[in-house]
Amino acid sequence: MLNFSTKGEYGLRAMVNLARNYPQIKNIKEISIEEKISAKYLERLIGDLRKNNLVKSIKGKNGGYILARKPKEISAGEIIEIMEGTMTAKCQGIHCSAMKKCASSFVWIKLGEQIRKTLYGIRLSDLIHPIK
Average model confidence (pLDDT) across the chain: 88
**pLDDT at residue 85 in the model:** 85
Task: Tell whether the torsion through CA atoms of 74, 75, 76 and 80 is positive or negative.
Answer: negative
The better pLDDT of the pair 97, 121 is held by 121
Angle at the Cα of 86 from the Cα atoms of 118 and 99, rounded to 5 degrees = 95
* Rounded Cα distance, 5 and 70, in Å: 26
Q: What percent of the chain has pLDDT over 70?
A: 85
Domain assignments of the chain as residue spans, ordered by start: 6-127
pTM assigned to the model: 0.85
User: Which pLDDT band holds residue 57 (cuts at 50, 70, 90)?
Assistant: very high
- The answer on pLDDT for 87 being more than 90 is no
> Would you identify the CATH topology of the domain 6-127?
Arc Repressor Mutant, subunit A (1.10.10)
105 contact partners, CB below 8 Å, separation of at least 6: 91, 96, 98, 99
Per-residue confidence (pLDDT) for residue 89, from 0 to 100: 60
User: Among 68, 10, 15, 8, which Cα is nearest to 42's?
Assistant: 10
CA 113, CA 70: separation in Å to the nearest integer? Answer: 26
> Higher pLDDT residue, 109 or 8?
8
In tens, the pLDDT along 1-55 reads 456 789 999 999 999 999 999 999 999 999 999 999 999 999 999 999 999 999 9
